[in-house]
Amino acid sequence: MARESVRDDTKNVEEIGLKGAMKRPLRITMMGAGSGFTEHLMKDVALIPGSQGGEIWLVDIDPERLAIAEKLVNWVLDGVGKSDVWTVKATTDRREALPGSHYIVNCIEVSGLGCVRHDNDIPAKYGVDQCIGDTIGPGGLFKGLRTIPVFLDMLRDAEELCPRAIVLNYTNPMSMMCLAAQRVSRMQVVGLCHSVQGTSHHLAHWAGVPSEEMVWECAGVNHLAWFTKLEHNGADLYPVLMEKAREEGGPFWEADPVRCDMMLHFGAFITESSGHLSEYLPYYRKRPEVLKRYCRDGYLGGSSFYADCWPGWRKACDERRIKVAAGEETMELKRSWEYASWIIEGREKNQPVVIYGNVANRGGLIENLDHEGCVEVACVINQNGVQPTRFGRLPEQMAAICRSNMSMFDLAAKAAVERSKQAAIYAMMLDPLVAAVCTPDEAQRMTLELFDAEAEFLPGYK
């Protein structure tokens, strides 16, 4: 399906409420049920109209966090009045949960808090300044090296126990995870993020138009997808946004300095927030004066932000979930714009909807990106599952930025699949942020130091 016909034949999930009943009870397996995503994604599933319910299996290797998740999901089902049609089961053994599953939602976290400081502090010694560091850069690379082997083991079990299930992956590093899966697994895997939906609302706000009336096209790679078309009532919205972005220090610029600067110089807005985006590029994190101009505290680019805050966030999230499950706090029981439940509903009701997913670029969905890579494009959902649509060609300057990341992802996936330290070194040397500040020798020494520090969570690498 050509991109021009996507909106003619289907509707975006935020514009619709699918009608009709689902034809069967479902078995949904939630991997990494200790994740903060669990209650929100399972709430969305429970709020699907016309559902026949079924079984929700929660899987986590941490019994305490699993018990919290079980109580919380049961609380959610009671709150939305669906505890009579859904049954919740919890296990630490994924092979108990997988047989007969129709959908697998993957939210695993390998190593927990064990490597957060290593991922940040060792690269900092070599001059690599990270804000988030979990999808690209040294932190993203090593998160992938730890996580991908576990994910592939899970997919092998799924091939045996539920080969027709659709795997909905939320775990980062998204591009590396999906790329490795498409190389070695027969399972249908789609990577899901909320950066496209979130950015579309963000742009509608700054353009001063209702988000539901904005027409747009977006494509690229995860966290680096470009809004190549942005219109309202047939009028191009970019002149308005460009004018606001040129006011350096103005409200739009201060809300998103890196994305504004990239839009001004490359011609379109990108899906990931400024602080995280700065790690995907070689421009913004290599000199103190550049950091001062383009980066701000917190999510807008603060140094070591994720490493400093993640332990506290995790603790606060667990405490909140315990209180909600005990009835001491409430949560909003409203369906979100996360794509998982819309994929399930669209497929089960055979009513086409459009989501943006991370999928294999087979056949050149984006013509001028690696046809063996992983891209983020519009996908149509119906009874046949996830069907990516063909975008065509990205403007060459945008494609080149994507390719700079895809080369790193390619070698990172190879390193994780083959357990190869040498491939990991190559990936590190090609990382845009590392290449901006390190020599090849420094990149190699940093990689090997990270392998030594995180050896407990990196079995089998040679």
Over residues 339-357, the pLDDT tens digits come to: 999 999 999 999 999 999 9
> Is 115 a residue whose pLDDT tops 70?
yes
* pLDDT confidence of residue 460: 97
* pLDDT confidence of residue 80: 95
Phi-psi region of 17 (alpha: psi -120 to 50; beta: other; left: phi over 0): beta
CB 210 within 8 A of CB 261: no
Instruction: Please indicate whether residue 103 is annotated as part of the active site.
Output: no
Give the model confidence (pLDDT) of 371-389 as tens digits: 999 999 999 999 999 999 9
> Is 15 a residue whose pLDDT tops 50?
no
Q: What is the four-CA torsion angle of 101, 103, 105, 108, rounded to 10 degrees?
A: 30
CB 413 within 8 A of CB 176: yes
CA distance 139 to 450: 9
Among the ranges given (4-18, 241-255, 321-335, 382-396), the one the predictor scored with the smallest mean pLDDT: 4-18
CA distance 430 to 254: 30
* pLDDT confidence of residue 11: 44
Percent of the chain with pLDDT over 70: 96
Q: Kindly indicate the confidence band of residue 325, based on its pLDDT and cuts at 50, 70 and 90.
A: confident
- The DSSP 8-state label assigned to residue 5 in this structure reads G
Instruction: Please indicate whether residue 294 is annotated as part of the active site.
Output: no
Give residue for tokens 């690379």.
Answer: 141
Beta bridge partners of 374: 360
> Is 266 a residue whose pLDDT tops 90?
yes
Which H helix or E strand runs over 264? helix 257-266
CB 103 within 8 A of CB 96: no
Q: CB under 8 Å to 458, separation ≥6 — which residues?
A: 142, 145, 146, 451
Give the model confidence (pLDDT) of 273-318 as tens digits: 999 999 999 999 999 999 999 999 999 999 999 999 999 999 999 9
Q: Kindly indicate the confidence band of residue 9, based on its pLDDT and cuts at 50, 70 and 90.
A: very low
Give residue for tokens 């940093």.
Answer: 446
Which residue among the candidates 103, 170, 238, 280 is catalytic per the annotation? 280
Which residue among the candidates 126, 194, 283, 371 is catalytic per the annotation? 194
* pLDDT confidence of residue 21: 85
pLDDT, the chain, mean = 95
CA distance 162 to 178: 19
Task: Confirm whether pTM is higher than 0.75.
Answer: yes
* pLDDT confidence of residue 17: 55
Percent of the chain with pLDDT over 90: 94
Q: Report, as an integer, the average pLDDT of 65-78.
A: 95
